[in-house]
Structure 1
Amino acid sequence: MQGNLNEIDICSILQLIELGQRTGQLWVEAHNSYHSNKLDGDGAIRYHSKQKSWFVFFLNGEIIYCQEGESSLSRINDYLRYYRVETRLADQQVAELSSTDASEYAYLWALLEQNIITPKIAGNIIHGLVHETLFDLLSLHQGNFIFYQDAPLAPQLNTLEIAPFVTKIRKQVQEWKQLYPHIQSPEQLPVLSDKAQLHSSLPAATVSKLQHWADGKTSLRQLARYLNRDILTVAKAIYPYVQQSWLQLVYSVTTNPDTHTENWDLEGKYKGRIVCIDDAIAIGETINSILKAQGYEAIALTNPLEALNLVFQLKPDLILCDIAMPELEGYEVCAMLRHSTAFRLLPIIMLTGKDGFLDRVKARMVGATDYLTKPFTDTELLMLVGKYINKDFHENRA
């Protein structure tokens, strides 16, 4: 069994594995895009993208273990910190384990066999890792997967039923989406941004805890492991402070040679900055080529949830937004932007494959400026963009 997550979602895949009582491995790979929250010294915003993968191991339709594709054993060490386990394996032992197919699982069993941890702690760690992995997987809408039958991981400490996890985590994913755009990813790092306001508004004990954890080096995911809490609980706890701008969430700057970087000159002369939000990469590339040829600065964003945060930094002069997107409909994106004073008057043009009266009415109801039906010609796009951006651009940039 293999395919694309556009055709079948993770939830359905897991249900098939459970109903069929399958034994084997599920491999999932997805494209993970993120950006730094600050401008670099050359005045450019850095955008990064990389592939991320996960393995889920099954026995008779139940989960044995979950592992990230590139395991460094740091996930388990984060949990060991919570249990105050100081003893670790010798470097030579760790090196030997790294050559195995499931190095994390082998590491956990080695700790167990040497009585460094108890079966209860090992079981709790496995439960936590399965929970966080399924949270990531059930949040995916794009990517590829392969399930192949194979001998199960051995030995097994215990197995976990799929259905209870899926039921609980699907609800958490829906609640997590409500935290956008303030909180975007478990990989974000909390940093104190207004210490004076914190001291004047919060008890000393609360400020002390925030200072301890919001060091700019600890991600939300790590924080969840250190506290033995799920990621949603941690995110909800800090959400009020992020809303008040007392805490800022940033991304770690990576120097991975595989990172793809694009720079946009913020000082150059151009007709205006246009952001296109469309999950179809081909549409974004087409619009970019048309607009850039005419002197516009065009930026294509494929993830609507990330785009909600990015547009505040990019400060576009016009937004093109697709209606039918898997994570968030264009209507919702438009309505959310209109709630901000920064985008109350900004031209927002909805893109859609439908040309119906009701779609146009709904677009107007959420505050859309205009409507463009796909497929469209170069002339149609340029005329519509020019109609709204030319009359406001010089005033907005003055």
Structure 2
Amino acid sequence: MQGNLNEIDICSILQLIELGQRTGQLWVEAHNSHQNHKLGGEDSLNLHQVGNGKPQSWFVFFLNGQIVYCQAGDSSLSRIDDYLRHYKLQKRPDNQLLTTLASTNSPEYAYIWILLEQNIISPKIARSIIHSLVHETLFDLLSLHQGSFIFDLGKALVPQLTTLEITPLVTRITKQLQEWKQLYPHIQSPEQLPVLADVGRLSASLPEATVNKLQSWADGQKSLRQLSRYLNRDILTVAKAIYPYVQQGWLQLVYSNTSKSNTTTQNYEQVDKSKGRIVCIEDAIAICETIESILKLNGYEAVSISNPLEALSLVFQLKPDLILCDIAMPELDGYEICSMLRHSTIFRFVPIIMLTGKDGFIDRVRASMVGATDYLTKPFTGKELLMLVEQYLNSDYGAGVQT
């Protein structure tokens, strides 16, 4: 069994494996979403890739339709070391033993068994680590919408320390992902790094013990995912705990390659804004390119973004004068994006024009309810697009809205 995730989602694949009580392994690789954030010849960051620029991938091992283990594709042992830190375990296996792990089909799992055999961890701790790693891997996989997969029937991963039923896990994690969405745009990715932004206000508002904890966590070196491992808590619990501080601006969340992000933002800001900067959020690449071409030919600065999740981060960097936003998109639809942006003072008065293939009264009413400025039905002509853009980018509109 193999295919692409735009044909069948991870949840359905897991259900098929569970119903068929299959034994083997599932390999999943995330694909680039072909973002088109071009401006002044500069490409923006691709947040779906790991730091070395390689696509992320995962392995899930099954026994009779139940999960035995989940492993990150890079075969790094750092995930397990993060959990060992939680248990304050200083002892490590002999280096010679560790060198043998590369020859196994699951180095992480073999590492856990070495730790068990050398009495560095107990079976209870080993099961807890496995449960946590399965949970965090499925959290990533169930939020993935672009990629490819291969399921191979084969021998089970041995020996087994525990097995996990798929349906209860998927139900629980799906609910968590729905709650995770509500944290946008303040919290966007488990790989973001918390950094203290206003120690003075933190100290004035929180107990000293809480401030000290935040200072030890939010050092710009540890990601939210790492913190969840150190604390042995799921990522949603950790994100919810810091969310009020991020919302207040006392904590900031950055990516590990912030320097590249800052450089890109500076390049954006250095471009002459001539007739105005417009961001188009649209998951159809062809439409993105068409809109971008029309706007640039008519003297506008245009940026197209085909991934709605990344759009929320980038629009805060770009500070556009007008936003074009498709309604029907995966992960986050246009209504959700518009509502989130309107909750920010930065975008309270920025014109947001919704793009959709539907021409129904209900859609227009719903767009208006979430704060959309206007509505453009696809397919539309270049003349229609430019007339609407010119209508809302003249100085009278902005002044009129704010009075």
TM-score, scaled relative to structure 1: 0.89
Please say if 1:151 is aligned against 2:149: no
Instruction: Determine the C-alpha separation between the residues in 2 that align with 1:337 and 1:116.
Output: 49
- 1:317–1:393 CA contact under 8 A, matched in 2: no
Please say if 1:298 is aligned against 2:296: no
Q: Give the counterpart of 1:47 among 41, 45, 48.
A: 45
> What residue number does 1:354 align with?
358
> What residue number does 1:367 align with?
371
- 1:30–1:52 CA contact under 8 A, matched in 2: yes
> What residue number does 1:40 align with?
none
Matched position secondary structure for 2:97: helix
Q: Which residue identity does 1:266 align to in structure 2?
A: E
> What residue number does 2:289 align with?
285
CA distance 1:339–1:238, shift in 2 (3 Å): closer
Instruction: Determine the C-alpha separation between the residues in 2 that align with 1:139 and 1:72.
Output: 22
Counting only pairs closer than 5 Å after superposition, residues 104-119 of structure 1 correspond to structure 2 as 104-119=108-123
- 2:6–2:145 CA contact under 8 A, matched in 1: yes
> Which 10-residue stretch deviates more, 106-115 or 86-95?
86-95
Instruction: Determine the C-alpha separation between the residues in 1 that align with 2:32 and 2:118.
Output: 37
> What residue number does 2:249 align with?
245
Q: Give the counterpart of 1:376 among 365, 373, 380.
A: 380
Please say if 1:266 is aligned against 2:230: no
- 2:308–2:332 CA contact under 8 A, matched in 1: yes
Q: In the TM superposition, what is the alpha-carbon distance from 1:355 to its structure 2 partner?
A: 2.1
Instruction: Determine the C-alpha separation between the residues in 1 that align with 2:24 and 2:227.
Output: 31
Instruction: Determine the C-alpha separation between the residues in 1 that align with 2:232 and 2:158.
Output: 26
State the identity %: 73
Counting only pairs closer than 5 Å after superposition, residues 97-136 of structure 1 correspond to structure 2 as 97-136=101-140
Matched position secondary structure for 1:7: coil
Instruction: Determine the C-alpha separation between the residues in 2 that align with 1:393 and 1:285.
Output: 27
Instruction: Determine the C-alpha separation between the residues in 2 that align with 1:105 and 1:32.
Output: 28
Deviations along 1:341-379, one digit per CA (max 9) or x if unpaired, are 322222111111122233223323332222222222333
CA distance 1:139–1:99, shift in 2 (3 Å): same
Uncovered stretches (5+) of structure 1, i.e. residues with no partner: 36-43
Instruction: Determine the C-alpha separation between the residues in 2 that align with 1:78 and 1:107.
Output: 13
Matched position secondary structure for 2:375: strand
> What residue number does 1:38 align with?
none
CA distance 1:88–1:255, shift in 2 (3 Å): farther
Counting only pairs closer than 5 Å after superposition, residues 160-199 of structure 1 correspond to structure 2 as 160-199=164-203
Q: In the TM superposition, what is the alpha-carbon distance from 1:22 to its structure 2 partner?
A: 0.9
Matched position secondary structure for 2:312: helix
- 1:181–1:306 CA contact under 8 A, matched in 2: no
Instruction: Determine the C-alpha separation between the residues in 2 that align with 1:169 and 1:32.
Output: 24
Q: In the TM superposition, what is the alpha-carbon distance from 1:165 to its structure 2 partner?
A: 0.8
> What residue number does 1:276 align with?
280
Instruction: Determine the C-alpha separation between the residues in 2 that align with 1:305 and 1:122.
Output: 35
> What residue number does 1:5 align with?
5
- 1:183–1:239 CA contact under 8 A, matched in 2: yes
Please say if 1:307 is aligned against 2:308: no
> Which 10-residue stretch deviates more, 372-381 or 123-132?
372-381
Q: Give the counterpart of 1:327 among 328, 331, 342.
A: 331
Number of positions where the alignment pairs a residue of Structure 1 with one of Structure 2: 384
> What residue number does 1:95 align with?
99
> Which 10-residue stretch deviates more, 47-56 or 202-211?
47-56
Instruction: Determine the C-alpha separation between the residues in 2 that align with 1:365 and 1:213.
Output: 39
CA distance 1:376–1:264, shift in 2 (3 Å): farther
CA distance 1:386–1:124, shift in 2 (3 Å): same
Matched position secondary structure for 2:302: strand
Please say if 1:25 is aligned against 2:28: no
Instruction: Determine the C-alpha separation between the residues in 2 that align with 1:171 and 1:52.
Output: 23
Instruction: Determine the C-alpha separation between the residues in 2 that align with 1:368 and 1:247.
Output: 30
Q: Give the counterpart of 1:73 among 70, 77, 81.
A: 77
Please say if 1:14 is aligned against 2:14: yes
- 2:265–2:317 CA contact under 8 A, matched in 1: no
Q: Which residue identity does 1:137 align to in structure 2?
A: L
Q: In the TM superposition, what is the alpha-carbon distance from 1:315 to its structure 2 partner?
A: 0.8
- 1:45–1:264 CA contact under 8 A, matched in 2: no
Instruction: Determine the C-alpha separation between the residues in 2 that align with 1:16 and 1:63.
Output: 13
Q: Which residue identity does 1:82 align to in structure 2?
A: H
